[in-house]
Amino acid sequence: MSKTKPSLNTIIIIILISIWIAGCSPLSPLDETSQVDSASPRGEEPAPGEDSSIVEESSHPGGESSTTAEDVSIPAEAASLKGLSITDFFDESFKLIMLRNPEWISAEGLDEIFGAPGDQLSGLSPAYLSESQTLHQAVLNLLHTYDRSALTPEDQISYDVYEWYLNDLISQGEFALYDYPITHFLTGVQNDLLYFFTDLHPLETKQDAENYIARLSQIDEKYDGLIESLDMRAEAGVVAPRFIWEWSMGSVSGIANNSARFTPFYMAFSEKVASLSDASDAEKSALLEAAEEAIAESVIPAYKDLAAAMRQMMSVAPSDDGVWQFERGEEYYAYTLHHHSTSDMTAEEIHELGLKELDRIHDEMYAAFRELGYSTDGVSIAELFDKVELDGGKVPGNEVGETFENLAAEAEANLGAAFDVMPEAPLTIIAGDIGDFYISPSLDGSRPGAFYAQVTGSGQDYYAMPSLAYHEGIPGHHFQIAIAQEADLPLFRNAIHFTGYAEGWALYAERLASELGWYVDDPYGNLGRLQFEAFRAARLAADTGIHAQGWTYDEALEFMSENVGYNTGDNVNLQFEISRYIAWPGQATSYMVGMLKILELREDASEQLGQHFELKEFHNAVLVNGSMPLDVLEKVIDNYIADKLEQVKANEAATLSSLEQVDDYPLYTMHYSGAYLSETASDESASWIGNASSTSSPPAWACSLVSVHLLPYKLSCLCDSEGL
């Protein structure tokens, strides 16, 4: 069956349109202090500089066997990690992992802090990736030499997050041949590298410019490694569907067939070099000449070679879309679901969850349509949303940025009802040709968080804008990520983004806005919220349908259109979405799975804490601990509930200690003021407080205090059932 595809020009425009970049934004290094536990788990005093949680042999949760320090094969660069305190180990080992990706470090302004030269690129060859895997395994083995039970509760959470992350990296290596390194989407290496050079690479000094040129000269080597890995995939029978190569070719051939001066690499460099304050005009000219030469000799040949390799892959590409078709494809898809959702749900369970959630959301949709006076009999969801689009109105292109700024400002002004922890990092709204995604602040503070808002010639439908603003900005991605960056946590917990948590929170933020009443006077915006929620529920079924049940592109397209309310024939974004699910297996399931888990944890906390539940405190527990797998988040919330119950118990004990015993009865009364007694109790009741005898019974007002927990203790034994 043929695929309905958007035009090449449209694809080029939307190549970088996406959700925010998940998983690769390191954050500010925090003050690092070693923590040494007071008692050695071996019953001995720790030696100077020795962490008492380090043991000779340790069984560990989630692992198959114990690992001794002597068993660990440690790469030379990791040798210095042995014997560190757990807090130092977290930071120093994660720095080594980050150093395997120099682009990541430079993008966050950490070159100087990390002692990185700032002029290197990461490798893509199988050998380079294997070296990284060796490091990941060594760090995990060293982590297992620490006795988790001897750690502080906070360090135990860090241990669990880090262990999950490292295990996931190792599993990723096991399926290294199964992902698609070249795609038309965000995950495509060619898109990611170009974005790094044009938008993220530091270019504020002459040295930055020289580093940029040095890196340009390494692109040929980087792509040689990429081509080698593509060949290995082909030998293993893992090649992306043909349309992915077709749609990706424009981003490669556009550079391969151009002259150096007209490539994005040169144009972005030229614009920024002109603003250098520490370079003379002659030096700037020399830098431009050197960049042009590097592009001509390294970049363009690399893109020509890559284009040729892509044409070869295209000739052997399969016609089917899902990873089910590959050997071990089912195992690989199970890994992607676990990686992105951070849950243990199977493909079948996720598929059924999507269908169940769609039923719920459709009921809410139809109720909202009827409240607007729309007839829903025999009318499709797509037709109803056509009417919402018309009635809700369009925001002209030149007002899109301002509208999003107003929505963000209104959201920030209304946060007090649900939050008492706010991020310091500012949020900027950038309106342009590409958009609908978020880029997190840089670690060094030089780059604020940014919500990129897409502006088209016809403007933007208003009804979809509020939920998009809340998802990408406040209280969604920006709110969550900036708070995590600023939290007093180990570096890796500031830096790592787990998709189930991050996207789950952002979708939760959309729903929370409704719960807080932000849509009360905006029925069209509320329908936009419901459509977005249906979109995420439908993704559960579409993603699993494609990769586990053999759905075709067109079957997924039809399913999404029917259940979300988009038209198949003219909605380029929906067509692009289906291609995204094919190119990025499992990722689209993270939103709904994550949101539902957060709602489940909130409900558990509310039920267990009862009148003591505080929404702000729950949000604090979720946010200030940073991004984490959902099972670890559950531990965090369990700890929050236990701590809160302990606090309530302590408060009640303190209240009890402020009461006085009357005669020899197990009866306690409060020290009420005279004013309270005069307003609340009769003279007889007031007299009873101080002169209760062995035969006296408390008045009705005293029993009523028991019922509202003001006198929750032994007084209840003297109150009759009516009083309670």
pLDDT of 260 > 70? The answer is yes
pLDDT tens per residue across span 184-211: 987 799 999 999 999 999 999 999 999 9
Give the number of other CB atoms < 10 A from CB of residue 356: 13
**Residue 720 confidence (pLDDT):** 42
Of 294, 604, 619, the closest CA to residue 483 belongs to 619
Cα separation, 78 vs 90, in Å, equals 12
* Neighbour-count burial of 62, counting CB atoms closer than 10 A to its CB (0-12 exposed, 13-18 middle, 19+ buried): exposed
Burial readout 404-429 (b: 16 or more C-beta within 10 A, e: otherwise): bbebbeebbebbeebbeeebebebbb
Cα separation, 580 vs 436, in Å, equals 15
Could you tell me which residues come within 8 angstroms of residue 208 by beta carbon, excluding any fewer than 6 positions away? Answer: 118, 201, 202
pLDDT of 18 > 90? The answer is no
Give 145-193 as a 3 state SS string. Answer: CECHHHCCHHHHHHHHHHHHHHHHHHHHHHCCCCCCCCCCCCCCHHHHH
pLDDT tens per residue across span 382-428: 999 999 999 999 999 999 999 999 999 999 999 999 999 999 999 99
3-state secondary structure of 238: coil
Burial readout 691-705 (b: 16 or more C-beta within 10 A, e: otherwise): ebeeeeebbeebbbb
CA end-to-end span of the chain: 71
Q: Which of 82-96, 590-604, 614-628, 694-708 has the lowest mean pLDDT?
A: 694-708
pLDDT of 490 > 90? The answer is yes
Q: Give the helix, strand, coil percentages of the chain, each rounded to 5.
A: 60, 5, 35
Tell me how long the chain is.
Answer: 724
**Residue 433 confidence (pLDDT):** 86
**Residue 391 confidence (pLDDT):** 96
Cβ-contact 27, 494 below 8 angstroms: yes
75 or 286, which is more confident: 286
Site of tokens 């459509």: 531
Give 423-479 as a 3 state SS string. Answer: CCCCEEEEEECCCCEEECCCCCCCCCEEEEEECCCCCEEHHHHHHHHHHHCCCCHHH
pLDDT of 66 > 60? The answer is no
Cα separation, 393 vs 302, in Å, equals 47
Could you tell me which residues come within 8 angstroms of residue 223 by beta carbon, excluding any fewer than 6 positions away? Answer: 124, 302, 303, 305, 306
- At residue 89 the predicted structure's pLDDT band, cuts being 50, 70 and 90, is very high
Phi and psi angles of residue 430, each rounded to the nearest 5 degrees, phi first: -120, 110
pLDDT tens per residue across span 630-689: 999 999 999 999 999 999 998 887 776 665 444 443 444 443 333 334 444 445 544 444
Percent of the chain with pLDDT over 90: 72
Mean pLDDT, the chain, integer:
84
Q: Which of 46-55, 417-426, 685-694 has the lowest mean pLDDT?
A: 46-55
Q: Which of 310-319, 441-450, 706-715 has the highest mean pLDDT?
A: 310-319
**Residue 24 confidence (pLDDT):** 34
pLDDT tens per residue across span 559-600: 999 999 986 555 788 888 999 999 999 999 999 999 999 999
Average pLDDT rounded to a whole number, residues 39-65: 37
- Find the angle CA(712)-CA(714)-CA(716) to the nearest 5 degrees: 70
User: How is residue 643 annotated by DSSP?
Assistant: H
Phi and psi angles of residue 3, each rounded to the nearest 5 degrees, phi first: -100, 140
Cα separation, 159 vs 139, in Å, equals 12
- Amino acid identity of residue 257, one-letter, is N
pLDDT tens per residue across span 336-379: 999 999 999 999 999 999 999 999 999 999 999 999 999 999 99
pTM here is 0.82
**Residue 50 confidence (pLDDT):** 39
